[in-house]
Amino acid sequence: MKSKTSFPPQEGAAPPSRCPDNSAFKQQRLPAWKPQLTIASVLSSFFLTGAFCLAVGVCLVLSANSVREIQIDYSDKCSDCSKLRENSSNWNKECHCSVNFTLKEDILGDVFMYYGLQNFYQNHRRYVMSRSDAQLLGRNVNIQRSYCAPFSTYRNGTPMAPCGAIANSMFNDTIDLFYKRNSSVIQVPLLKTGNSWWTDKNVKFRNPESYNLSSAFAGTARPPYWHKPVYLLDEEDERNNGYVNDDFIIWMRVSAFATFRNLYRRVRRVRHFAEGLPAGNYTFRISYNFPVARFKGRKHVILSTVVWSGGSNPFLGIAYLVSGTAATLAGFVITGIHLKLRKKKTYFQKQ
């Protein structure tokens, strides 16, 4: 068997080439579309983009302005209850206040009730992470290993259900709406279910499996700031209890801004309210439980309709208008520069 002998490279010999192979792929000779930018194609793209954005922006702004909305700040009107709630020792004392208002015109169509908070920051990193998604799926997990601390367990080791700072700070004012018709007072029927996202209600939140909810949450305790356990959030509807309660699910979807609103109820379109809310005198009856004075916050209740583009926020329409205006102005500027340079070129050619 012959052994292979390696010889050192001869002096003066060229080193092996490191150039890529002479193929269409490695030499980038594959067929490709190489657009030739002309002044006509560039200007037409700018003007068409500007026209499209301006048209969409106008439609969005007009749509947002067609939304009927009434917003009432009840922070000062419920000042007595606010002072009562600032003392934590009064947590078990009920406090109610009423806010009167008048609708000068009918609000036709589906009417949505929101609660709004001002100066309430939900975008702090520790606050956003203070939850246990596994617990909210109904699993039996050790929440001490989660990010719920310090709202995970009590000193005696009893776990909180649900745990975390988000759940502990849940908005818990109760708001009822009454309509004064002639000499009678009619309570406006409100829907408390069907307000959350389908994916949240059916995918992200689950109750522990058991023959009833009270036994499912046995061995746990409510968060410190709650007045009742999680399985009694809605005592009228068992399907809207526990982790699948709509109010709880909506609150757990935190806001990116300090001023925000969350959907609270929908007006049920029956009897006197089949077409919406008729014009007249109304009263909000509020069970005040959520204090806001310590962080200089404000609370609102909003009645609003919606359109195909959403609520009354005109931000998206304004953004389209600004983009369309910028594209159109850029097209005119490029046109002026092109005409000026073409005149200079024509002048020098004549010389």
Model confidence band, residue 9 (pLDDT cutoffs 50, 70, 90)? low
- 318 in Cβ contact with 114 (< 8 Å): no
From 167, 128, 341, select the one nearest 248 (Cα to Cα): 167
Mean pLDDT, range 313-339, rounded to an integer: 94
- Strands 190-191 and 107-108 turn out to be unpaired
Model pLDDT, residue 324: 96
pLDDT digits (tens, 9 = 90+) for 264-315: 999 999 988 999 999 999 999 999 999 998 889 999 999 999 988 888 888 9
Residue 351: burial class (beta carbons within 10 Å; 0-12, 13-18, 19+): exposed
* Pairing mode, strands 190-191 and 298-304: unpaired
**The token pair that represents 329 in the structure block:** 């102005």
Section 18-37 average pLDDT: 83
Q: How far apart are CA 232 and CA 228, in angstroms?
A: 6
Give the residue-averaged pLDDT of 15-27: 81
Q: Which amino acid is at 122?
A: Q
Q: How many CB atoms lie within 10 A of CB 242?
A: 26
- How many angstroms separate the CA atoms of 67 and 203, rounded? 32
Confidence tier at 99 by pLDDT (50, 70, 90): very high
pLDDT value of position 8: 58
Contact 317, 36 (CB under 8 A): no
Q: Work out the average pLDDT over 116-130.
A: 94
**Which pLDDT band, with edges at 50, 70 and 90, does 348 fall under?**
low
Task: Give the residue-averaged pLDDT of 65-82.
Answer: 91
Residue 14's pLDDT band (cuts 50, 70, 90): low
Question: pTM of the prediction?
Answer: 0.81
> Is 80 exceeded by the pLDDT of residue 350?
no
Quick one: pLDDT at residue 351? 61
Predicted confidence at residue 236, as pLDDT, reads: 87
pLDDT given at position 145: 81
Q: How many CA atoms lie within 13 A of 211 on its CB side?
A: 0
Least confident of 204-208, 250-254, 316-320, 337-341: 337-341
Average pLDDT, integer, range 131-151: 89
Scored b (16 or more CB within 10 A) or e, 326-337 reads ebbebbeeeeee
Looking at residue 146, the DSSP 8-state letter turns out to be: S
Largest CA distance in the chain: 117
Q: Say what the pLDDT of residue 7 is.
A: 54
Confidence check: pLDDT of 4 > 60: no
Please give the Cα distance from 117 to 291 (Å, whole number).
Answer: 11
Q: What is the mean pLDDT of residues 160-170?
A: 94
Q: How confident is the model at residue 28 (pLDDT cuts 50, 70, 90)?
A: confident
Q: Considering the chain, what is the average pLDDT of its residues?
A: 89
pLDDT exceeds 70 at position 251: yes
Neighbours of 317 (CB within 10 A): 20
Percentage of residues in the chain with pLDDT exceeding 90? 64
pLDDT at 36: 83
Who's near 59: CB < 8 A, 6+ residues apart?
Answer: 309, 317
For range 84-96, the mean pLDDT: 84
Q: What is the pLDDT of residue 287?
A: 94
At 18 the pLDDT is: 80
pLDDT, average across residues 247-264: 95
